[in-house]
Amino acid sequence: MEAFVYTALPVRVIFGAGTLTRTGEELATLGCGRALVLSTPEQEEAAHALKERLGSTCVAVFTQAAMHTPVEVTARALERLKVAGADCLVALGGGSAIGLAKALALRTGLPQIAIPTTYAGSEATPILGQTDSGVKTTQRTPDVLPEVIIYDVDLTLTLPPLLSATSGMNAIAHAVEALYARDANPVISLLAEQGITALARALPRIVSNPGDIDARSDALFGAWACGTCLGAVGMSVHHKLCHTLGGSFDLPHAPTHAVLLPHAVAYNAGHAPDAMVRIARALSSDSAAHGLYRLARSLGVPAGLKELGMPEAGLDDAVRLAVAAPYWNPRPIEAAGIRRLLDNAFHGRSPATV
């Protein structure tokens, strides 16, 4: 066994069906009594229903969370928080709502309860990504880690099949990059392989039968496992490219992950052989990159960046931005190789060594 360093994250996890009912109890345990509930506009009804459930424990609702956590939205939410006199944050939704709660926690020090309704995994990480003037940056600090995560499988039953698929591929990306991270360790590598396996088996069942409660439970567990991996070790070229495309070109977060992942894995294949074996094994495939590509195709997610609204003329700018401030990666970041990677991803081609 090689030497390693592993830092466990201090977060309380409540997992099961019907666990949303425990939100008030968890707020009391935190010593909080004036919650601000956060959501996106699409989940406004669910946010107000949670407010009614919490009664006087909830003092306000803010339903304007947005993808990539724009700083101007955070400023509006911060004003709402101050006016309401909130002493804690409850994020209900996917990465947008949870990202907003993290941004507010960073600025105020308030405790958070995250209630994810997708498989994004952001709730399990001490990572905050924010967008300012079209540039997305990330930072890692325990100050943004939620104190409590409430996983309620029932809340994922209405997540549409396509959103389930792209969100699940997003989660898989977290575990994939954890396997070849610079600070990878045997604890997280075991969890990463388990998370990929759980999602790869559950997502096709969800697409064919969205009401399959067992598949939903397996996928939500996989999302937690993959998110925990992302929270424990560093990110590499895949996440750098997704952050660049999302922040600078406003591409949708989860679908961008789903499109790029097989191509990023192909880019790194020759420089992380042990990780590729584990990824392929988790997918029951003979190839990590092609296994991911085949899984994505079987789920019906978009094949290429072109389908997501990426302008082909912007590919060179994306390369420039990604290369200018790269994350550590097992293979050196080379502009020509990244350009070919993005070209393959733009056209939706089968992943190839670049």
Boundary-marking domain end, from 156, 174, 206:
156
Write down the pLDDT at residue 203: 98
The tokens describing 334, both together, are: 């080379």
Burial (Cβ within 10 Å: 0-12, 13-18, ≥19) of residue 22: middle
Q: Kindly report the average pLDDT of the chain as a whole number.
A: 96
Give yes or no: residues 147 and 182 share one domain: no
Model confidence at 4: pLDDT above 80: yes
> What pLDDT, on a 0 to 100 scale, did the predictor assign at position 98?
97
Residue-by-residue DSSP string for 137-175: EEEE-GGGS-SEEEEEGGGGTTS-HHHHHHHHHHHHHHH
pLDDT tens digit sequence for 35-71: 999 999 999 999 999 999 999 999 999 999 998 899 9
Report if residue 132 sits inside a domain.
Answer: yes
- 71 and 107 fall within a common domain: yes
pLDDT band at 7 (very low <50, low <70, confident <90, very high): confident
| Type and span of the H or E element at 315 | helix 315-324
> H or E element: which one contains 239?
helix 237-249
pLDDT of residue 3: 84
pLDDT value of residue 5: 86
On whether both 126 and 214 belong to a single domain, the answer is: no
| Average pLDDT estimate for 232-260 | 94
Pairing type for strands 35-38 and 88-93 reads parallel
The answer on pLDDT for 170 being more than 80 is yes
Per-residue pLDDT at 6 exceeds 90: no
Do residues 124 and 17 share a domain? Answer: yes
Which of 103, 137, 156 finishes a domain? 156
CATH code, 144: 3.40.50.1970
Domain end: 156, 191, 220, which one?
156
Q: In total, how many domains does the chain have?
A: 2
Segment 4-25 shows an average pLDDT of 94
Residue 56 identity (one-letter amino acid): S
| pLDDT attached to residue 60 | 97
Say yes or no: 112 and 191 in one domain: no
Tokens of 265: 């894995």
Q: Look at residue 341 and tell me if it is in a domain.
A: yes
Determine, yes or no, domain membership for 193: yes
Whether 116 has a pLDDT exceeding 90, the answer reads: yes
Cα torsion angle, 54, 56, 58, 60, sign:
positive
The angle at the Cα of 133, spanning 89 to 246, to the nearest 5 degrees, equals: 75
Is residue 1 a part of any domain in this protein?
no
Do residues 131 and 185 both lie within one domain? no
In the chain, the percentage of residues whose pLDDT exceeds 70 is 99
Both 133 and 220 in a single domain? no
Is residue 88 in a domain? yes
**pLDDT of the residue at 256:** 97
Closest CA to 134 of 249, 239, 243: 249
Residue 59, H or E segment: strand 58-62
The structure tokens 């495939």 sit at 285
Q: What pLDDT is attached to residue 138?
A: 86
Range of the domain at 122: 12-156
What are 58's strand-pairing partners? Answer: 35
Measure CA of the first residue to CA of the last residue in the chain; give whole Å. 33
Do 197 and 140 share a structural domain?
no
Say which amino acid occupies 18: G
Q: pLDDT-based confidence at 8, cuts 50/70/90?
A: confident
Same structural domain for residues 114 and 184?
no
The Cα 201–Cα 282 span in angstroms is 9
Give the mean model confidence (pLDDT) for residues 286-309.
97
pLDDT at 354 over 70: no
Q: What is the mean pLDDT of residues 308-327?
A: 95
Residues 113 and 187 in one domain: no
Residue 163, pLDDT score: 95
pTM for this prediction: 0.92
Query: How far is it, in rounded angstroms, from Cα 335 to Cα 314?
Result: 14
Over residues 87-110, the pLDDT tens digits come to 999 999 999 999 999 999 999 999
As a whole number of angstroms, the distance between CA 314 and CA 320 comes to 10
